[in-house]
Amino acid sequence: MADVLVAVGGMDLGGIETFIMNVYRKIDPGFVRFDFLLPHDRNYFFADEIRDRGGRLYFIDESRKHPIKMRKKLDAFFCEHCYDVVWENKGSLNSMAILFAAKRSGVPRRILHSHASTSSVFDTRSAMNYAIHSVNRRRIGAATDFYACSPEAADWFGFDRSGKAVKWKFVPNGIDVARFAFDDEKRNRVRDALGFGVETFVVGNVARLVSVKNHIFLLESFAFLQSSCSKARLLLVGSGPMKAEIIAKASELGIWEKVTLLEDRMDTDELYSAMDVFAFPSKAEGLGLALIEAQAAGLPCVVSKGVPSRALICEGCQVVDLADGATKWADEIKHVATFGRNSKGPEKVRNAGFDIARVAADIQADFIRVTKDQKRGFGV
């Protein structure tokens, strides 16, 4: 049995969290046991499911305001709890405290997993955060193993830094491919429930409502599309701090009545079936889990250059530079709609290595290898 501590910044409905839960659901509990270390004691979206699966949740804030206090808390935690693996999942190197504490306590394997690709993941304090991230790129030696969801994500964390390169492993953001395959019955049921007619042209996006996902640009693009396609509707799926700003912008553009906003949904597989085109204008992505899901559903997609090339699996993905402007995006959305659905989407996504069953089995094998190495005396 491998005891694994999953360290992550939250367990709400976001890309990193969804990937972790996808893995958790496929891991054999007879071989691997997950606990979670989170920054705040609150009711996270996935908290109940984690507890139902036997996972324990612990809370320690990695606040930089009280570094000595935080270090003492982490040292006390690892003194009390024994783990074979610490698997830290991050979008930026805002802190290395957990991995250093795990190293001090003798945790044999300490995995640093990069899920992002650029400084645009930062908020308005980006100058300070970028400086801290840059410093911590030189401190990744606190980890023993390195995962990344794309080459861009590996570079962002400094895994390939000249003179200090480390051996890293590509870990695809796997999904349950069969679940996301297009289903005509689901399509009709969801479209009826949302008030979409048979001829309604539905443009969809699944993402947290944060700046890096670029919803304001998407609204501007849709406004141009709507002016020439009155039957178009925009379906946004996600929650986040920009909700009020997005609603205000849609109202300002006069399109709010044409926008449907759904928050924190577990039925995204059905929602993809209800869409006609998937628009993904993110400023940056570590990989883009939602784009993988959309392609598994066979959707034609319009994506920005901020999306890593490894996430572009099907022929129906059209890459458009954000610098080309909202009108160009509106034109491309109309253009890709003529492609229709790709019936081979599930097969292509699976063949590209994004089937969660395969990904989870590979991660599980890594975790089990740790305990075997310890028994042979090869532990760190």
CA 369 to mean position of chain CA atoms: 26
Q: What is the rounded distance in angstroms from the CA atom of residue 191 to the CA atom of residue 193?
A: 5
55-64, 70-79, 117-126, 132-141: the lowest-pLDDT one: 117-126
Structure tokens at 129: 């955060």
Residues 64/69/71/75 CA torsion (nearest 10 deg): -150
Q: In what order do the strands lie in the sheet with 145-148?
A: 57-59, 32-38, 2-7, 85-90, 109-114, 145-148, 169-170
pLDDT for position 160: 82
DSSP letter for 170, please: E
Condensed to tens digits (0 to 9), the pLDDT of residues 84-105 reads: 999 999 999 989 999 999 999 9
Query: Nearest CA to 243 among 265, 220, 261?
Result: 261
Q: What is the pLDDT of residue 85?
A: 97
Is residue 306's pLDDT more than 50?
A: yes
Which residue, among 181, 173, 125, 179, has the nearest Cα to 150 in the 3D structure? 173
The C-alpha angle with vertex 377 and arms to 374 and 380, in degrees rounded to 5, equals 65
Residue 122 has pLDDT above 70, yes or no: no
Specify which residues 37 forms β-bridges with. Answer: 7, 58
- How far is the C-alpha of 286 from the C-alpha of 117, rounded, in Å? 5
Q: For 38-64, what is the mean pLDDT?
A: 91
Instruction: Look at residue 128 in the predicted model and tell me its pLDDT.
Output: 81
Reported pTM? 0.85
Look up residue 359 and give its two tokens: 């990904």
Percent of the chain with pLDDT over 90: 83
**Residue 47 is encoded by which pair of tokens?**
């908290």
User: If pLDDT is split at 50, 70 and 90, which confidence band does 161 have?
Assistant: confident
Is residue 50 predicted with pLDDT exceeding 50? yes
Q: What pLDDT, on the 0 to 100 scale, is given for residue 371?
A: 67
Q: Average of pLDDT values for 41-52?
A: 94
Residue 120 has pLDDT above 60, yes or no: no
Q: What is the pLDDT of residue 119?
A: 47
Any idea which of 23-27, 88-92, 115-119, 235-239 has the lowest mean pLDDT? 115-119
